[in-house]
Amino acid sequence: MSDEMSAPGTDDQRLRALMASYQAGCFEAFDELYGLVAPRVRRYLSSQIRDASRAEDVLQETFLQLHRARRSYDPAYPLMPWVMAIARHCWLMELRRARRRPVADEDVAAHEPPVRGEAEGFADAADLDHALGILPAAQRQALLAHHQWGLSFEEIGERLGIAEAAAKLRSSRGVRRLREILSRR
């Protein structure tokens, strides 16, 4: 750190000037600002979040939010309290997100999924692709839109320019025809 940056008040003035330049569209100022501010924010986040990769993710989220809110910063006030408030908000959002996200007690990737006995009778992907190719386009569209993409029949009707009942009928006929084709394999 240079002598000019270590003098009291100079650091704050430099940060304010960099932020004002960044607000004016000078993205080079952001690079310098990031270099000066990120270590401080990283230290704060590391004291709150023990997982270094999560702390780094929250640091990046902090700077993303800083970028989005850059126009709301007033250079008449110190920059670091504003940045630290954003960092704290991002940290709290990460805490909320972590509470909602379930954590597996065991490594689920190590377990083999159970296979039902009748699974051998299920069509493989190549057979299914072939059977879908045989279906009339209207039936295939409705069937895939409902069963693959999860659209309601009302949404399918709107997208295809048909009535909801027609979308149901196309999908139903497509499923029936698909079963017939696959049963003959």
Per-residue model confidence as pLDDT tens digits over 55-105:
999 999 999 999 999 999 999 999 999 999 999 999 999 989 888 876 666
DSSP track, 101-151: S---SS-GGGSPPP--GGGGGSPPHHHHHHHHHHS-HHHHHHHIIIIIT--
Which residue range forms the structural domain that includes residue 179? 122-183
Residue 104 has which token pair? 């597996």
Say if residue 19 is in the same domain as residue 78. yes
Say if residue 19 is in the same domain as residue 83. yes
What is the arithmetic mean of pLDDT over 20-35? 93
Four-residue CA torsion sign, 87, 93, 95, 101: negative
Say if residue 133 is in the same domain as residue 163. yes
pLDDT at 111 over 70: no
d(CA 122, CA 141): 22
DSSP tally for the chain: helices H, then strands E: 9, 0
Give the pTM: 0.52
Say if residue 47 is in the same domain as residue 90. yes
| Tally of domains in the chain | 2
Lowest mean pLDDT of 22-36, 48-62, 132-146, name the range: 132-146
Predicted local confidence at residue 150, as pLDDT? 86
Say if residue 26 is in the same domain as residue 96. yes
Of 100, 132, 163, which residue constitutes the final position of a domain? 100
Contacts for 14 with CB less than 8 Å, ≥ 6 apart: 4, 5, 36
Give domain status of residue 37, yes or no. Answer: yes
Give domain status of residue 110, yes or no. Answer: no
Per-residue model confidence as pLDDT tens digits over 59-73:
999 999 999 999 999
Higher pLDDT, 39 or 130: 39
Predicted local confidence at residue 5, as pLDDT? 43
Give domain status of residue 169, yes or no. Answer: yes
Residue 63 contacts residue 69 (beta carbons within 8 Å): no
CATH number of residue 162's parent domain? 1.10.10.10
Say if residue 88 is in the same domain as residue 135. no
